[in-house]
Amino acid sequence: MTGSVLAASLLLFDMDGTLVDSTASVERAWGRFADRHGLDAGAILAVAHGRPTIEVVADFAPQGVDVVAETDRIEAEEIDRTDGISEIPGAAALLESLDRSRWAVVTSATRALTLKRLAAVGIPLPKVLVAADDVTKGKPHPQPYMLAARALGFDAADAVAFEDAPAGLTSATEAGASTVVVGGYQGEAAAGLPRVPDLSGVRVTWDGPTLSVQLP
């Protein structure tokens, strides 16, 4: 589905895979975790993308491992290593074109990691950020997107959300947002949704009080 025009009051963006390409960094972090505990890194990576780190650690850590301490270690390693991450094409230009009161970042990363990655690749920092630290139920639960919309004074049903992974797509869709798939994910969570390869062709204009989101 290309060439769509979506009406919205606000835009909500995932970070990893949507605004920032951090694939290599994420894979290295989970690879180190797997090596420390004799785990299958491929099995972890198959389900980790878009989910809070602490939930993935809890799912895979061997009995007796301190889940909080292990999560803190992974997060610290990722904060210290911004090499190899890059902007998703068009992300910075799109966000710079928007009124800061009409967009937010909704991510399963921590607040500290999110701010470090956005700054590292030159993407504007959001007025509203809902990170893993801010929710009691992470993606795929709809709570993150509902909280972000509310913080901007809207309902999630008034939003267009940009996501790349199944957990995030489910979260945004179940919150009521009109959801756009960024990138190549082809699974069930993306079925029937509009899609863009990246953000370089996305244009947003004002149509009275409403935002008109034009997809390439």
Catalytic site residues? 14, 16
Q: Exposed (0-12), middle (13-18) or buried (19+): which is 179, by Cβ within 10 Å? A: buried
φ, ψ (nearest 5 deg) of residue 92: -65, -45
CB within 8 A of 185, min separation 6: which ones?
164, 165, 166, 169
**Kind plus residue range of the DSSP H or E element containing 77:** helix 67-80
- Residue 27 β-bridge partners: none
- Nearest alpha carbon to residue 185 among 49, 67, 19: 49
Q: Give the integer Cα–Cα distance in Å for 210 and 216.
A: 19
Identify which of 1, 53, 55 has the alpha carbon closest to the alpha carbon of residue 22.
53
3-state secondary structure of 13: strand
Cβ-count burial of 35 within 10 angstroms (0-12 exposed, 13-18 middle, 19+ buried)? Answer: exposed
